[in-house]
Amino acid sequence: MRSLLFVPGDSPAKIDKALGCGADALLLDLEDSISLAEKPTARQLVAERLNALAGQQDTPRLYVRINALDSGLADDDLQAVIKARPYGIMLPKSINGASVQQLAAKLAVHEAEAQIPEGQTRIIAIATETAQSLFHLASYQGACDRLDGLTWGAEDLSADLGSETNRLDNGDYTDPYRLARALVLVGASAAQLPAIDTVFTAYRDSEALSRECEAARRDGFSAKMAIHPAQVPIINAVFTPSPEAISHAQAIVDAFAADPQAGVVGIGGQMIDRPHLRRAERVLARAGAAKTRS
C-alpha cells in the first residue's frame, strides 16, 4: 500500500466518491470524525457499505478505524462491522503490542461468530497517540500475525502532551513529533512491518505534501495516510518507485543472483553489499504492489 485515505463513516456519498480516487486503502472512520451521537448511525452505514461492496473487484482495501479500546465504544464498533467482513481494523491510541493482542482476541471471537476464518481480519495500529505509547514501540515485534503496519499520529499526541503546536513556522515538526515519527519507523522496521506516515492536514498545499512524502520515502516509510482525495495522486506518485529506481534495484538483485555466494558486487563503479540487496528487494516489492493497484 502507498496511500490510505480517511473517509467519515457516516457519509455513504463520501465513501462512494473515495472508492474511485485511486487510494490503495480506505480508512472508514468511526472515531474522530464522528460525533458521539452519530456513532450508532455510522456503524450501521459502514456495515451496509461493506456488505454492498463485498465481492467486487478492484476496490481498495477497506479498513475500519474503530474507537479506542478504553473508550467503551470499541466493542459496539466491532459487533457492527466484523460480520460485514472489512479487510482490516485500524486501532487508534494503541499503547503497545499487548493492545494489538487484545484487539486480536476480540476479532477472533467476532470472526468465529460470523464464520469468518480466524486471522482474516487484519490490523493497522496507530502507535504514538499518547505519551505512554512512545515508550513501547519495540513491543510490536512478534506481537501479532494480523499486523499490516504501524503508523503514527501527531494531533492526538499534541493533545496528550499539551503542546501549543506540533509544527514550526516552516512546516517542520517540533522535536517531540520528530521523535514519535522516528520511533514508529524504527519500531516498524524491527517488527518487519510497513511504516506508514501520518496525515498532512493542509490538504490544499500540494507542494508541501509532496515534500513531506519525499522525506518520508527517503527515510524508509512505504506509505502515507491522507485526509482528502486530492492528496492521493501525489502520495501514489511519490511512493511508487521510478523506472530508474526499479532498474537499479533489479540490477542489484540480478548481480547477487548470478553470484549467490558473493558478499559484495560491483555495479556502475559502486561497491554494493547485502544491505543494498535487501533495500533493492523492498523497492521491487513496492513496485510490484503499485503495478497491481494501478
Q: Model confidence over 90-102: pLDDT tens digits?
A: 999 999 999 999 9
**What architecture (CATH level 2) is domain 3-239?**
Alpha-Beta Barrel (3.20)
Q: What is the CA radius of gyration of the chain?
A: 20
Q: What b/e readout covers 2-24, taking b as 16+ CB neighbours within 10 angstroms?
A: bbbbbbbbbbeebbeebbebbbb
Q: What is the DSSP string of 192-215?
A: T--EEE---S-TT-HHHHHHHHHH
pLDDT more than 70, % of the chain? 98
- Extents of the domains making up the chain: 3-239, 243-293
CA dihedral 289, 151, 154, 24 (to 10 degrees): 30
> From its phi and psi, is residue 115 left (phi > 0), alpha (psi between -120 and 50) or beta?
left
Q: How many CA atoms lie within 13 A of 124 on its CB side?
A: 30
Residue 246: per-residue pLDDT: 84
pLDDT of residue 138: 97
pLDDT tens column, 223-241: 999 999 999 999 999 999 8
Q: Which amino acid is at 14?
A: K
Q: Is the pTM of this model over 0.85?
A: yes
- Whole-angstrom distance, CA of residue 196 vs CA of residue 217: 10
List of the chain residues with pLDDT < 50: none
pLDDT value of residue 293:
63
Q: Determine contact, residues 81/49, Cβ cutoff 8 Å.
A: no
Strand partners, 89: 64, 123
| Phi/psi of residue 23, nearest 5 degrees | -65, 145
* 68 phi/psi in degrees, rounded to 5: -60, 150
Distance CA 88, CA 100 (A): 13
